[in-house]
Structure 1
Amino acid sequence: MRARLTFACVFAALLNTAAFAQGQPSKLETLLEGTSVSPALSGLQISLLKGGEATEGYALGFAQITSGVKQPLRRNHKTRIASISKLVVALGVMQLVDAGKLDLDRDLSDYLGWELRNPTFPESAITARQLLAHTSSIRDGSAYFIAAGSGELRDFFTPGSPYWEDGAHFADAGGQAPGSFFTYANLNFGLLGTVIELLSAQRFDQYMANNVLDPMGLSARFDPCEIPAPQRAAAFRKGTEPGNWNNGADWLAQVDGSKPNCFYGARDADFNEAFLANYTPGSNATIYSPQGGLRASADDLVVVLKMLINGGMINGGRIISPESVDAMLAPQWTLNAQGSNGLSAGEAEPGGPTDGLMASYGLSVHRINMRDWGFDDGPALLVGHLGEAYGVLSHALFDPQTGDGIATIITGTAQDPADSPPGSSPLYRVEEEVLRWWVSRKR
């Protein structure tokens, strides 16, 4: 039997949140239920920054469906946040830069222990800076992860391996040599995760927990099995099978439902224990999904933003240096006037409504000109990152001039958000509506 979410459940889902002032929740509740221009949502977490300080947060909707009953979403629930994970991974990379262990502009082959070269541009080194900025000439191909026990990362780049795909993981067009052309690619972060392992001699998930997440006071994790079950929120779509939408069907968990996979390729407890006991750091960090696998809450993401606003400091401790923060936020690539030096549609096909989504990029930092997106009353510049996977839509963004910011996690949509009528920006309409709600409150 389908359980209907009541307003009582909505308010029960607010954990340690500022009280709703009169009129404040109406827009968010309306978005949750669905509007004429956006689909219904399974859940919505929002946390806000004002002047670099966390001010308020909201959690609406449900986190899990247990025996047909929807469990309310709370602010401490962790969801797979998709590509905002890349922003957090960049912190681990920049720690290694600060420690003098990694040179952003050195040939990555020197760290990998094997030669990484695009065969179309064999004289051009591929560097960590290019990986962070998506100018490396690396491409995703049909897959950008290799399951545990099925191979090593270098197999993507080794002719004759099952993962070579006739060189599909490299750009082969003129003008796309390393450092010259922007194409968003998840595999860049499989490489960066592997370099983190090689330079730290730790598994990627453990390095990130020990050196990035714990020092920020966060219980967020790349291993979902380390998140207590009562704090795990699933990603949802309405549909009859994972990966597809059907607005007339029930909500269906896409990932982190009743039993999450601890890593890509995890099979059962015996396999997991044996595999991890014998895993060699630096062999294949893609199993931990560095491109998108962080489980976190919107409150967690606000802490990350606050740390960047504070020049790398949080809770009295330093995560990265001010110089590394500056390097991350500065433009490493900008779309030229002709649009000829990169693909601005992100992971979507060029020539569609998402053109212009990525027109300026730092070191794993999305730089957004809100005026170009039709937000005339919004900040001229927002920095941070966007995410989309398994029905989740997320963003963590702040204004570097004022320290105002917003972190949002939409845990799922009833139908494909691309089917909604477009707004003024390359964002999905529901994402745009959330940002307009935020901008309207800043006036």
Structure 2
Amino acid sequence: MSKRNLKRLSTFDDKVVQIETPIHEDEIHNRQNDYSLLPPQQFAKKYRSLLFQPVKITYKGKPFEINTNHCLDPYCKWFGLPQRKFDDVKGKPHRYFIGSPKDGKQRINCNDDPINHGKGQLTLNCSTPTASNWSLAEEILRLETLNRTQSFNNKDYEFHKENCSISIASPFHHPREFYRRGKSSSNSEKWQCKECKKITNVLPMRNQSFVYHQKRNDILHDLAKALINRTPVKRTCEMLKIGSSTYYNKLEWLYRRCLEFLERYETEAFSTKTFETMWLNTDKLVYNLNNVRKKGHGGKRYDNVEERILQTHIVVTSDVQTRYVLRSDVAYDWNITLEQLEQDTVYYKDDHINNFSRKNERYRFPFAPQPPTLADTQSTLEYNDERAKFEKRKMYIDGLHVNSSYTTYAQLWLI
């Protein structure tokens, strides 16, 4: 189909980034068995293999490996190098060892070079915080999905009724199997199957309908001006005489059109250019996000159960010399739900493993608190306190804040 076709926003079903699950079914089965038998510390120690294990992903048809757990000091000899075991040295030391946790998170420390000790560049006994490679891969998937559009294709249309004898035919490739039935009021073309007589509307070309499916297209320019001038949502709705649902529908439409513009002009232009040197500057814009309660969870009995205003970060990276903004991403995932978090916790047993092994470590709630097991070191009182905070969060709008460090990692990787 032509590049001039109308597009839609990408969804996670499109799998713009494919992630290979780093743990196998056998390990998941073993986790299920050991969860109630081992104390949390022993359980985490047994299943810490993901610390230095790269996570494999496929991006734009090319394979990549995500691994951030290495020395981050550019003056250290081990800077950027993966874990290694020196089998030829007595004691078989490793390049890194797990140090004492700080702020509840594990850290890795650099060992001395056992082969060329005291020669050349030195190791500096660096202490580096660990990160979850798996969770970082998931953040890369989230950012890339939000910044991509997809063309409508045959799979987005149903041109035939059930049991139609020519169900594989489409008007794009088999036009003789269809009748043309004119155009709809929104300028979409109508096709009718000659066999089952089903009529299907096909989206028009972009140059045929700039504001397809927009009933109030006359307000789009005013809405765009209000956004640029940072006019509050409520005030914009009053000025344009629209409801909040219309406001957000138009906002999504403008966002998609901006992505189409970037893909059509800037992405293609950058793909053919090379730069010898680029100086990048990454900074965070902090703003307060209103924490809105869900319908039915209002009233004084729900006051003070969660923060009314939450700090939210926008991570921006730009070129220092040209001031060209390469990416701007919000460290907030509005697609995740606490129910999904609960399912992952029960399946992967994330509450008893280290932070670098968790799939959802990037979220404010990396796991859902679970009742203490017989071998657990957590008391029932401590569990009830954690669970109460988790349940209170369910009273507010879906979505979770993302640790801005993971958003920054993912953004720089994509750049």
TM-score bracket relative to the smaller structure: under 0.3
Using the size of structure 2 for normalisation, the TM-score is: 0.25
Higher relative contact order (CA 8 A, sep 6+): 1
